[in-house]
């Protein structure tokens, strides 16, 4: 099969579009013929191995200390058709159209991907395209996790910092769906996009610092994790909640202290990916509650180009590889 492989950590140029053996499903696995797979910031961070030290060490030991060994194909979100199943598989059968998360094994940037049937994997509803489905696992599940954790009440003021990228483009419509009044922050070039996603108020981070508004927000979801910790806490109403998607180590240390000393809550947590939440998100898309924002679609052979776009941060919403052209409704 064709896949994008990387043999060393580094810039997008380390990616090679090449032939690798097609994987065979184990007894508890299904094999997916991949139709679409997302390209996200976390893929670029993995390729370049750009992680904070506390994450760098365990992840590097896992993936390969000098060169990538265990993980040589990137890709965290997959959508496609099941073309083979292991002997013990009961949840799925050949021909099912599915989408899901590849978890720690990654490997979606290929023509075929094997996943445990117990992985966060579910059937794709009619009316949701493979490209749309491929955006939902990482972006959608992380956004849903932090929105739920914020326990948003109708009418609350919610600010989403970094609203124009992968996770933010789901967080805005989901926060609106839960009844919030949404302010979104991103680069000048994305302000119209933020409005189209449902933000009532938009802030250009190159011109304005949202933390200078004083106590104002009930919830702040800092997707990009770049807002200063103390100023973000200050920008919350007395019983406000700050949720940091991409936290610094110092923020993780300070979060429990803030939560103990004040009525404000600060949370730095990781989403638990489930098939049920994937179903929930796909139903919202099928019912037109929101539509995943896809900026560009690339062929698998153009892997480096796709990585360059995502790494530049200039993409609006999601970037997707279209691997099999014959889309099934
Ligand atoms: N905690 C977790 O479980 C978890 C899970 C998944 C991902 N993550 C991490 O979360 C981060 C964000 O992920 P993503 O996929 O949403 O990234 P993304 O698609 O690159 O989106 C980030 C957005 O933030 C904007 N941005 C950059 N600097 C900003 C600033 N100072 N203020 C406001 N906005 C700014 C970017 O625009 P410009 O670059 O054009 O300015 C971009 O629109 C990544 O580092 C990812 O690895 C964490």
In our burial notation (b when 16+ CB lie closer than 10 A, e otherwise), range 252-261 reads eebbeebeee
**Is pLDDT above 90 for 149?**
yes
205 close to ligand 1 (CB < 6 Angstrom): yes
Place of tokens 């090679």: 16
Q: What is the pLDDT of residues 215-274, one digit of tens each?
A: 889 999 999 999 999 999 999 999 999 999 999 999 999 999 999 999 999 999 999 999
Selection from 281, 304, 306, 300 nearest residue 124 by Cα:
281
Is 214 a residue whose pLDDT tops 80? no
Question: What whole-number distance in Å separates Cα of residue 296 and Cα of residue 315?
Answer: 8
Mean pLDDT of 178-205: 98
Report the C-alpha gap between 313 and 102 in whole angstroms: 23
> Measuring CA to CA, which residue among 2, 13, 74 is closest to residue 38?
74
Find the distance separating the first CA and the last CA of the chain, reported in whole Å.
24
Our answer on whether the CB atom of 165 is closer than 6 Å to any ligand 1 atom is: yes
| Domain-wise residue ranges, the chain | 2-123+293-322, 139-267
Tell me the best of 59, 149, 167 to mutate to test the pocket of ligand 1, counting ligand atoms within 8 Å of each CB and taking the most.
Answer: 167
Pairing of strands 217-222, 157-161: parallel
Question: pLDDT of 107-132, one tens digit each?
Answer: 999 999 999 999 999 999 999 999 99
pLDDT in tens, 1-12: 999 999 999 999
* Domain 139-267 CATH assignment equals 3.40.50.720: yes
* 166 CB within 6 A, ligand 1: yes
Q: Is there a common fold for 2-123+293-322 and 139-267?
A: no
pLDDT value at residue 325: 55
Whole-number mean pLDDT of the chain? 95
Task: Identify the residue whose C-alpha is closest to ligand 1 atom 42.
Answer: 165
pLDDT digit string, tens, across residues 60-99: 999 999 999 999 999 999 999 999 999 999 999 999 999 9
Give the pTM.
Answer: 0.95
pLDDT (0 to 100) of residue 74: 98
CATH number for the region 2-123+293-322 comes to: 3.90.180.10
Q: Binning pLDDT at 50, 70 and 90, where does residue 329 land?
A: very low
* Any atom of ligand 1 within 6 Å of the Cβ of 12: no
For residue 51 the two structure tokens come to 């992680």
Q: What is the pLDDT of residue 327?
A: 47
Closest residue by Cα to atom 22, ligand 1, is: 165
- The average pLDDT across 124-144 equals 97
pLDDT band at 53 (very low <50, low <70, confident <90, very high): confident
DSSP label at residue 264: -
């Amino acid at each position: 099969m064709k896949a994008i492989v990387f043999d060393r950590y580094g810039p997008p140029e380390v990616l090679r579009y090449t032939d690798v053996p097609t994987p065979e499903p184990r007894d508890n696995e299904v094999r997916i013929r991949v139709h679409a797979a997302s390209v996200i910031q976390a893929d670029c961070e993995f390729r370049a191995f750009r992680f904070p030290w506390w994450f760098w060490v365990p992840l590097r030991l896992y993936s390969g200390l000098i060169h990538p060994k265990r993980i040589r194909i990137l890709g965290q979100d997959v959508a496609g058709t099941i073309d083979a199943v292991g002997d013990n598989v009961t949840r799925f059968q050949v021909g099912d159209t599915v989408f899901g998360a590849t978890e720690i094994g990654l490997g979606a940037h290929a023509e075929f991907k094997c996943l445990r049937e117990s992985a966060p994997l579910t059937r794709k509803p009619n009316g949701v395209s493979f490209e749309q489905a491929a955006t939902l696992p990482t972006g959608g599940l992380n956004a849903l996790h932090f929105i739920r954790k914020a326990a948003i009440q109708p009418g609350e003021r919610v600010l989403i910092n970094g609203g124009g990228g992968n996770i933010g483009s789901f967080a805005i419509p989901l926060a609106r769906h839960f009844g919030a009044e949404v302010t979104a922050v991103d680069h000048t070039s994305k302000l119209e996009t933020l409005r189209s996603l449902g933000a009532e108020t938009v802030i250009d981070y190159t011109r304005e610092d949202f933390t200078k508004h004083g106590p104002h927000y009930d919830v702040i979801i800092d997707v990009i994790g770049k807002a200063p910790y103390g100023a973000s806490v200050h920008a919350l109403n007395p019983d406000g909640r700050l949720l940091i998607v991409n936290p610094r180590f110092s923020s993780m240390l300070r979060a429990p202290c803030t939560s103990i000393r004040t009525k404000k809550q600060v949370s730095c947590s990781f989403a638990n990916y489930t098939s049920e939440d994937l179903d929930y998100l796909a139903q919202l898309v099928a019912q037109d509650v929101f539509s995943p924002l896809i900026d560009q679609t690339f062929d698998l052979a153009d892997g480096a180009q796709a990585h360059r776009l995502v790494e530049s941060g200039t993409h609006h919403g999601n970037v997707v590889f279209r691997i099999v052209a014959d889309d099934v409704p």
